[in-house]
Amino acid sequence: MGRWQLSGLLLLLSYGATAQLLRKSRLAPVTALTPRVVVARIPNSIDSLRANADVEQWVRKHAGWRKRSYFYPAFQLDTALVTYNADCQQYCTTLNVKPWAVVDVDGNGRSDLIAFRLRESFGRFSHEPYIFYDYGPNDGIRTEYLQGRGAGPCEIVSVTQLDGRPALLFVHHVTPPQSDGFSSPPVLQIDTLVHRFGDLVEYTTSIATPRFSRLEVSFGFDCCASFTITIHADRKLEYQVGYTSGSEYYLFNRERGKFQSELDSAQFEQLQQLFQYIKPDKLAKSYAVSWTDAGTAWLTAEYGNGKVVHIKDYGERATWGVSRLYELIARLRTQQRWYSVEHPYDVPVR
């Protein structure tokens, strides 16, 4: 299979292929989870890992797994890749998944570690895939748990390369779009992920989406939003918080009102490019995770010649790119200098 044929197949898989499709595709084993897939430019302690015991000791020492507790015991590798699903096991075999890998996921020149944690809960064993990013001596190690949108036993990751950079094939359960998250059983899906916009997002090759003229996201629980941030084409920002009953942001932060600010050009351009990257025309109107007590995001975007997209997202995990968009917008609450609309002569909120 040629390089471009493989890239096309990976794109097909990234849009929700099932295990049956993978078995029929004659997919040759890609570069799987094996040590030193990509050699980083700046040496670090991850480069010295050679055996399973080395990985366990490194995680316990460097990634905050030193203390034992009921929920987070000392880190232990899942060397057997425990699964409870035949299709998931087929993926493990076809993709030649291994318990850990060393690869520069984010392209910062330092090796990162991908490892499966063996988890025991009430006598049952499962695995959880983690990425341990190395951001250097100043920023240290950041841990990210790769979690799907649906609660299921399958969460496995394999490493390949696209456009000369590492990419991840993440097999996991998802709740079908436009379901309530509980009545519909989760289905297996493969996402092809690359590190862009500061985090993992779906891999895509063409972007033809117009820029947004107005982008608004509300965050809250169940029916009601706790705060809303709106971004306009002229980089003006609006922030409204604490107007719904029981707003936890008002109860804990004593913050209520309407505020305004202005986004700098670099941040604004990043949000515009990410909005175009997620291809809003392809998104469903609603998404949901299959567990309780999750937050909800409501996204509204105006773009192109009168196009409008509305998304209700219980769990805030519609897609990887959309989740990253939420994160960047929510951070504006604490990153911006906000001025009160009702009391414009007051000092900034922050």
In tens, the pLDDT along 319-342 reads 999 999 999 999 999 899 999 887
At 20 the pLDDT is 45
Q: Give the pTM.
A: 0.83
Closest among 101, 246, 268, 255 to 169, alpha carbons compared: 101
On average, the pLDDT of the chain sits at 81
Q: Do residue 76 and residue 120 come from a single domain? A: yes
Per-residue pLDDT at 68 exceeds 60: no
Distance CA 343, CA 333 (A): 18
pLDDT in the model for residue 19: 40
- Residue of higher predicted confidence among 152 and 100: 100
Asked whether residue 33 falls in the same domain as residue 112, the answer is: yes
Q: Which of 180, 202, 224 is the C-terminal boundary of a domain?
A: 202
Across 58-67, 222-231, 265-274, 321-330, least confident range: 58-67
pLDDT at 12 over 60: no
Within a domain: residue 76? Answer: yes
Beta carbons within 10 angstroms of residue 339's beta carbon: 17
**Domain tally for the chain?**
2
Measured torsion, CA atoms of residues 20, 291, 81, 98, in degrees rounded to the nearest 10: 80
Higher pLDDT, 121 or 170: 170
Write out the residue range of the structural domain in which residue 310 sits.
212-340
Give the domain-ending residue among 202, 231, 248: 202
Most confident of 21-35, 73-87, 90-104, 150-164: 90-104
**Quick one: pLDDT band at residue 318, thresholds 50, 70, 90?**
very high
Query: CA angle, corner 56, sides to 112 and 145, nearest 5?
Result: 50
